[in-house]
Amino acid sequence: MESLQPRAMTATATAQGPAHGQGPTQGPAHGRGRPCVITRRATFSASHRYWLPELSPEDNQARFGPCSLAPGHGHNYTLIVAMGGPLDGDGMVLNLSEVKHAIRAEVTAQLDFRYLNETWPEFDLSRPEGRLPTTEALCQAIWTRLAPKLPLVGLRLHETDTLWVDLLAPGSTPTPMEAFLSIRTHFAAAHRLARPELSQGENEAIYGKCARPHGHGHNYLLDVTVRGPIDARTGMVCDLAALQQLVDDLVVEPFDHTFLNKDVEHFAATVPTAENIALHIADLLSAPIAATGARLHKVRLQESPNNAAEVFAETPQLEMVPAALEALVAG
Ligand SMILES: [Zn+2]
Ligand SMILES: [Zn+2]
């Protein structure tokens, strides 16, 4: 199919005649020309195996663990496609049925119920430029297929609920060179919000019920996002198992089933608000993650379905702006 450009950008968009509710001599209506980002979700199921022919069976097993086992294993993938552009006279960035068709033709019809290692040439490991079909590499391969068809601003690919990758529109280069890899984990902990130099009454005036003397607990959801270039052969931003181990060793194990104020030294002197916990986690993880070759991008700590704190570790804290990838999904 032809490339889908945002309709308001094309000459044909104005040649289509008056849009709904707009007389032939009327000016802009329905936001025509104003920019907007739209998202479309698609799903597919596929299998893969992490196995590099140049490595011995022992080395494959050591590097990729159970992902190296024959004949492979599968995932139910969820893809979120974010597209941007000005609205046309019909109040749309793009016609959704055309978007749906492009995603089906270029991606899901080619991948659904397939063995990824044998689908696209990017994953043909007998070629020197072949790479493992990791979530990062798969997301980038999808980008190269959709970018000529749709005005992409971002892609998110979920392998599971606890592992996903984001790519963002790179500006002038045709394919994003870096990926954002996120992992989700959780821990349960209690805390009390109170400053020791204040009276109980003063603390309750600031922190409300959270200042009650014996604390309360949360099931915290922790999302850690790292960014980096995708390795040309392994298809990975970093060693996923090593990243998960760092988060487990430095955060989950010391924080889980604790009373944070008393059991985690940092919070003896720092009020363990969600914000302070997220900042402390970012401080704990930054250097060890840098040692793996990736960079810590963001820590998101969700205390309850109603509140979360996000720390963007790479930007000066007073200039924190949520990255464009936030347009991709809610929550
Ligand atoms: Zn897998
Ligand atoms: Zn609380």
Which tens digit of pLDDT belongs to each residue from 138-167?
A: 999 999 999 999 999 999 999 999 999 999
Which three-class secondary structure string do you get for the chain? Answer: CCCCCCHHHCHHHHHCCCCCCCCCCCCCCCCECCEEEEEEEEEEEEEECCCCCCCCHHHHHHHHHHHHCCCCEEEEEEEEEEEEEEECCCCCCCCHHHHHHHHHHHHHHHHCCEEHHHCCHHHCCCCCCCCCCCHHHHHHHHHHHHCCCCCEEEEEEEEECCEEEEEECCCCCCCCCEEEEEEEEEEEEEECCCCCCCCHHHHHHHHHHHHCCCCEEEEEEEEEEEEEECCCCCCCCCCHHHHHHHHHHHHHHHHCCEEHHHHCCHHHHCCCCHHHHHHHHHHHHHHHHHHCCCEEEEEEEEEECCEEEEEECCCCHHHCCCCHHHHCCCC
Q: Quote the pLDDT of residue 26.
A: 53
Asked if the model's pLDDT at residue 217 lies above 60, the reply is yes
Measured over all CA atoms, what is the biggest interatomic distance in the chain, rounded to whole angstroms? 73
Give me the catalytic one of 202, 216, 253, 257.
257
User: Which tens digits make up the pLDDT trace of 21-57?
Assistant: 444 445 557 788 999 999 999 999 999 999 999 999 9
How far, in Å, from the CA of 240 to the mean position of ligand 2?
Answer: 30
Asked if the model's pLDDT at residue 20 lies above 60, the reply is no
Asked if the model's pLDDT at residue 261 lies above 90, the reply is yes
Supply the pTM of this predicted model. 0.87
Q: Quote the pLDDT of residue 313.
A: 87
Asked if the model's pLDDT at residue 330 lies above 50, the reply is no
Asked if the model's pLDDT at residue 274 lies above 90, the reply is yes
How far, in Å, from the CA of 220 to the mean position of ligand 2?
Answer: 10
98 as an active site residue: the answer is no
How far, in Å, from the CA of 55 to the mean position of ligand 1?
Answer: 19
101 as an active site residue: the answer is no
Nearest to 292 by CA among 248, 251, 240: 240
pLDDT (average), residues 263-283:
97
User: Which tens digits make up the pLDDT trace of 89-147?
Assistant: 888 999 999 999 999 999 999 999 999 999 999 999 999 999 999 999 999 999 999 99
Nearest to 73 by CA among 1, 179, 15, 160: 160
Q: Quote the pLDDT of residue 287.
A: 95
How far, in Å, from the CA of 275 to the mean position of ligand 1?
Answer: 33
Asked if the model's pLDDT at residue 316 lies above 70, the reply is no
326 as an active site residue: the answer is no
Ligand number, closest to the Cα atom of 46: 1
How far, in Å, from the CA of 279 to the mean position of ligand 2?
Answer: 16
Q: Is 208 left (phi over 0), alpha (psi -120 to 50) or beta?
A: left
How far, in Å, from the CA of 49 to the mean position of ligand 1?
Answer: 7
Q: Quote the pLDDT of residue 30.
A: 74
How far, in Å, from the CA of 222 to the mean position of ligand 2?
Answer: 15
Give me the catalytic one of 122, 136, 159, 303.
303
Residue environment code for 118-139, b if the CB has 16+ CB neighbours within 10 A, otherwise e = ebbebbebeeeebbbbbbbbbb
Ligand number, closest to the Cα atom of 274: 2
Q: Quote the pLDDT of residue 173.
A: 55
Average pLDDT, the chain: 88
Spatial distance between the Cα atoms of 130 and 143, rounded to a whole number of angstroms:
17
Asked if the model's pLDDT at residue 327 lies above 60, the reply is no
Q: Quote the pLDDT of residue 10.
A: 38
pLDDT (average), residues 223-250:
95
Give me the catalytic one of 210, 266, 275, 326.
210
Find out whether 93 and 31 touch, Cβ atoms under 8 Å.
Answer: no
How far, in Å, from the CA of 78 to the mean position of ligand 1?
Answer: 14
pLDDT (average), residues 5-32:
49
The two tokens of residue 291 are: 């040692």
Q: Quote the pLDDT of residue 23.
A: 46
Ligand number, closest to the Cα atom of 67: 1
pLDDT (average), residues 173-184:
82
How far, in Å, from the CA of 243 to the mean position of ligand 1?
Answer: 16
Place of tokens 């509710």: 21
User: Which tens digits make up the pLDDT trace of 294-309?
Assistant: 999 999 999 999 999 9
pLDDT (average), residues 176-182:
87
Ligand number, closest to the Cα atom of 209: 2
pLDDT (average), residues 225-241:
94
* 57 residue type, one letter: P
User: Which tens digits make up the pLDDT trace of 62-94?
Assistant: 999 999 999 999 999 999 999 999 999 888 999
Ligand number, closest to the Cα atom of 160: 1
Asked if the model's pLDDT at residue 12 lies above 50, the reply is no
How far, in Å, from the CA of 160 to the mean position of ligand 2?
Answer: 28
Ligand number, closest to the Cα atom of 75: 1
The two tokens of residue 130 are: 């072949």
Q: Quote the pLDDT of residue 17.
A: 40
